[in-house]
Structure 1
Amino acid sequence: MDQDLYVLGGAQTDFARNWAAEGVGLFEVLTEVLPATFTDARVVPGDVEVIHVGNLAAEMFAGQAQLGGLVVAAEPQLAGLPSTRHEAACASGSTAIVAAGADIASGRYDVALVVGIEQMRNVPAQTAADHLGTAAWAGREALDATYTWPALFADVAEEYDARYGLDHDPLGRFAEIAFANAADNPLAQARDWSFGTGSFSEDDDANPLVEGRLRRTDCGRITDGAAAVVVAGAAFARRWAAEHGLELDQVPRISGFGHRTDTLLLEDKFAASRGGEHLFPHLHGTVHDAYRRAGLSGIDDIDVVEMHDCFSITGLVTLEHLGLVGGGKGPELIHDGSIERTGRLPVNPGGGLLAAGHPVGATGVRMVLDAARQVTGTAGAQQIEGARRVLTVNVGGSFTTAVSFVVETTSP
């Protein structure tokens, strides 16, 4: 973005909820999350000038398209506003924020509502896996897999092993850290889960294999959830801050972003990067675009990372593309405590996708909301002391789409 984008506030649903079991769906949840978003952001619907919605598969899971109109149905005061839906698999919410930022940077609009939403627990597990599998190359990959995405990310683990060597210990430890963090997150899907001996090990009874070398606690779960934020340009944010007794530099701002896309087939991505420095060069480029646009030197300027970890291997691979260590060195950061809440680079203090939950279209929006709370000291039990700059990294598909934001404040 050519100008800073300010995050005025937002809200998310409880990711442990099963909407179908409650007898609610997309519309009813929107009627909950939108008022909470406006209350937290201290704006009224009339302040909003444009709407962006992130969602992968509402047609398949809920039989519902035209989500922009559904947002207006849930909050009639938004009637007449332009609205666009964005789909980039698990990065759908982040691409919606990118688009909102472009709208504001263009000068067309001053204030945008960004909503990410996904319902996935209303169908059997195999049906959900098949729906989600459409974000891979249908008919070209994971053809013999029971579950498309565990199988494809198991292929990522195999490729990682071929390049650098990999045993299960760092994957198990990454997952263990995630679930421990989620225990303190009141909105996390896994906050009340308990784990016995061997749950993060290669014990086939306590932690059975799912696909390839990936085990149960290596895999994120199907989640229902919504998250929304109100974002604004500098002129509106300055007036808003003054009205609420704040300085502009106390308002969370997205100071930099990266957004890149690679080819769809996972094996084609592997083939293109073999012999290179990075497993996914476009992911490395995305993160460093965010640093550059934010005027940062790199990862050393970051206090916290909200990072995509739909599987433990996704987290390990993403960790190695941030600029802190090179390929094959991520296990060292996991084992030496660097990514824990008290470490030098806390990762996913609320549990990440593995443990906090991964309602696909909502994830990128939830990341930015959590980042805004970190840099304003309002993250509750997940708060990292002194956090002023957070990096978000959200990927879609088999690292096909990558989006990264830097969210910061310069004054407490």
Structure 2
Amino acid sequence: MRDAYLVGAGQSDYGAFPEESYRSLFRTAFDAATDSVPKGLDAGDVDEAFVGTLGVGGRQLGLSGPAVTEHVGLDGVPTTRVENACAASGFAVRQAVQAIKSGMADVVLAGGFEVMSDTSSDATKYWLGVSGETEWERLSGTTFSGVYAQMASVHMERYGTTREQLSRVAVKNHANGAKNPHAQLGFECSLEDAQSAPVVADPLNLYHCCPTSDGAACALIVSEDVVEEYTDDPIRVAGVGAGSDDVGLFQRDTYTGIPASRRAAESAYEMAGVGPDELDFAEVHDCFAIAELLAYEDLGFCEEGEAGRLIESGATELGGDLPVNTSGGLKSKGHPIGATGAGQVVEVFKQLSGTAGERQVERPTRGLTHNVGGSGGAAVVHVFEREEPRSSRNSSGRGPREKESEVSA
């Protein structure tokens, strides 16, 4: 199978934008992605597209993928909408890689979008809840914060994890988000702020929960056959892994981990030929503070039950041994459901291309993204690896994807 490479990625700001539509947000992300490609990439180069969205609020439920790709000029490009709850665009990236590796496409767009701010709080809770188990969780009144609160309670009881350790996740991610101009909650918070916030679902308080967001993100994945037409500094998609599980938390054997994440990570590490100790940074799915701590254990950053002590040690802070959520994560950067997975890839692209600004990790070569759907019904993990710079073989001066016949004509 052919190797797949990440050559560009971009996003809109995340937040509440009543003057924007899902199409205009996607255009912003698409334009940012194409502009980030070192040697340039045109809409006409794209062979296929995968677009993630939950479709919050009822707008364009059918054919929402083609609705945004046609808007940005991908006329006639085969487009597939991907829905896997909060992991929608993470799986869109996976499908883009599959299309490349299979030989069916050379340039693929993977993106996502969501508009969540134009419905009432009750309606938003409903749309978030549809990704939970319907009969025994959502219709009985359980919210996502309630489900993750159950996870937190059991982890705290079993392993001694504390509210202060949960709050340290928020403090770290807000510190990183304050350095990210795209972040929805781009401000720092103190440990006291994060511990004294109003309770949402005990033991989780307001600072332990991510916001609802409007936003879009796009990534451009190309094959090894054409990568040198777009960049001399390739970023290889070294590993891909995915997993699914029972949608309802009550149906699973554990409350202190997400088995789908563990399976996805194992597959991604095996494909990449690396272990978690060989990563330089990671973007993990921190919809709630406990979710980041669970990710530390599920992804092999520490032993089971040690996540609270890992966050307390400072190892996952910017400048630590393994910086996690340098973008600010879902907690500070924001969580526009369908855009979140692709947005994580945007941060990887910036870090590995050295354009992350104040939050830049020192000389990274390998990063990971981890995107979860619902409370763990689906998960996808990617490992990205920066290769040594190479000289372009395209010495003719032709633009990207330009055919010999087009030049001679």
Question: What does residue 396 of structure 2 align with?
Answer: none
Q: What is the Cα deviation at residue 199 of structure 1?
A: 1.2
Describe the SS at the equivalent of 1:405. strand
User: Structure 2 vs 1, CA of residues 196 and 332 (structure 1 numbering), >3 Å: closer, same or farther?
Assistant: closer
User: Structure 2 vs 1, CA of residues 281 and 187 (structure 1 numbering), >3 Å: closer, same or farther?
Assistant: same
Structure 1, unpaired ranges of 5+: none
Select 1:289's aligned residue among 221, 242, 267.
Answer: 267
Q: Is the 8 A contact 2:11 2:343 kept in 1?
A: yes
User: Structure 2 vs 1, CA of residues 139 and 365 (structure 1 numbering), >3 Å: closer, same or farther?
Assistant: same
Q: How many residue pairs align between the two structures? A: 387
Question: Are 2:248 and 1:265 equivalent residues in the alignment?
Answer: yes
Q: Is the 8 A contact 1:5 1:232 kept in 2?
A: yes
Describe the SS at the equivalent of 1:320. helix
Question: What does residue 402 of structure 2 align with?
Answer: none
TM-score for the superposition, normalised by structure 1: 0.90
Give the Cα separation in 1 of the matches to 2:340 and 2:247.
21
Structure 2, unpaired ranges of 5+: 390-409
Question: What does residue 227 of structure 1 align with?
Answer: 217
Aligned ranges 1:110-129 → 2 under 5 Å: 110-129=106-125
Give the Cα separation in 1 of the matches to 2:310 and 2:176.
17
Aligned ranges 1:314-329 → 2 under 5 Å: 314-329=291-306
Question: What does residue 90 of structure 1 align with?
Answer: 86
Question: Are 2:48 and 1:71 equivalent residues in the alignment?
Answer: no
Q: What is the Cα deviation at residue 63 of structure 1?
A: 4.5
Describe the SS at the equivalent of 2:226. helix
The superposition leaves residues 224-281 of structure 1 with CA deviations (integer Å, 9 ceiling, x where unpaired) of: 000011110100103333xxxx2xxx21121101101011110111xx248xxx7333
Question: Are 2:38 and 1:43 equivalent residues in the alignment?
Answer: no
Question: Are 2:118 and 1:137 equivalent residues in the alignment?
Answer: no
Q: Is the 8 A contact 1:376 1:388 kept in 2?
A: no
Q: Is the 8 A contact 1:368 1:407 kept in 2?
A: no
Question: What does residue 3 of structure 2 align with?
Answer: 4
Amino acid at match of 2:251: D
Give the Cα separation in 1 of the matches to 2:190 and 2:242.
40
User: Structure 2 vs 1, CA of residues 194 and 179 (structure 1 numbering), >3 Å: closer, same or farther?
Assistant: closer
Q: What is the Cα deviation at residue 209 of structure 1?
A: 0.3
The superposition leaves residues 27-75 of structure 1 with CA deviations (integer Å, 9 ceiling, x where unpaired) of: 22233332332222210011100011011124x3435431222123312
Question: What does residue 104 of structure 2 align with?
Answer: 108
Give the Cα separation in 2 of the matches to 1:148 and 1:48.
40
User: Structure 2 vs 1, CA of residues 196 and 256 (structure 1 numbering), >3 Å: closer, same or farther?
Assistant: closer
Q: What is the Cα deviation at residue 329 of structure 1?
A: 0.5
Describe the SS at the equivalent of 2:327. coil
User: Structure 2 vs 1, CA of residues 279 and 32 (structure 1 numbering), >3 Å: closer, same or farther?
Assistant: closer
Q: Is the 8 A contact 2:315 2:323 kept in 1?
A: yes
Q: Is the 8 A contact 2:53 2:338 kept in 1?
A: yes
Question: What does residue 167 of structure 1 align with?
Answer: 162
* Aligned-CA RMSD value: 1.7
Give the Cα separation in 1 of the matches to 2:43 and 2:192.
50
The superposition leaves residues 313-364 of structure 1 with CA deviations (integer Å, 9 ceiling, x where unpaired) of: 0001111112232111111111111000111110011210000111111111
Question: Are 2:249 and 1:255 equivalent residues in the alignment?
Answer: no
Give the Cα separation in 2 of the matches to 1:197 and 1:330.
18
Give the Cα separation in 2 of the matches to 1:322 and 1:68.
31
Identity over aligned pairs, percent: 33
Q: Is the 8 A contact 1:93 1:361 kept in 2?
A: yes
User: Structure 2 vs 1, CA of residues 38 and 279 (structure 1 numbering), >3 Å: closer, same or farther?
Assistant: closer
Give the Cα separation in 2 of the matches to 1:40 and 1:197.
36
Give the Cα separation in 1 of the matches to 2:114 and 2:296.
26
TM-score for the superposition, normalised by structure 2: 0.90
More divergent stretch after superposition (95-104 vs 217-226): 95-104
Give the Cα separation in 1 of the matches to 2:191 and 2:379.
36
Select 1:280's aligned residue among 253, 258, 261.
Answer: 258
User: Structure 2 vs 1, CA of residues 31 and 282 (structure 1 numbering), >3 Å: closer, same or farther?
Assistant: closer
Question: Are 2:57 and 1:80 equivalent residues in the alignment?
Answer: no
Amino acid at match of 1:9: G
Question: What does residue 200 of structure 1 align with?
Answer: 194
Amino acid at match of 1:38: T
Give the Cα separation in 1 of the matches to 2:27 and 2:260.
38
Give the Cα separation in 2 of the matches to 1:229 and 1:163.
40
Q: Is the 8 A contact 1:61 1:119 kept in 2?
A: no
Give the Cα separation in 1 of the matches to 2:359 and 2:225.
31
Q: Is the 8 A contact 1:190 1:355 kept in 2?
A: yes
User: Structure 2 vs 1, CA of residues 61 and 180 (structure 1 numbering), >3 Å: closer, same or farther?
Assistant: farther
Amino acid at match of 1:71: V
Describe the SS at the equivalent of 1:100. helix
Give the Cα separation in 2 of the matches to 1:169 and 1:280.
22
Describe the SS at the equivalent of 1:198. helix
Amino acid at match of 1:399: G
The superposition leaves residues 73-114 of structure 1 with CA deviations (integer Å, 9 ceiling, x where unpaired) of: 3123x2112110101111001110111111111111111011
Describe the SS at the equivalent of 1:407. strand
Select 1:34's aligned residue among 30, 34, 38.
Answer: 30
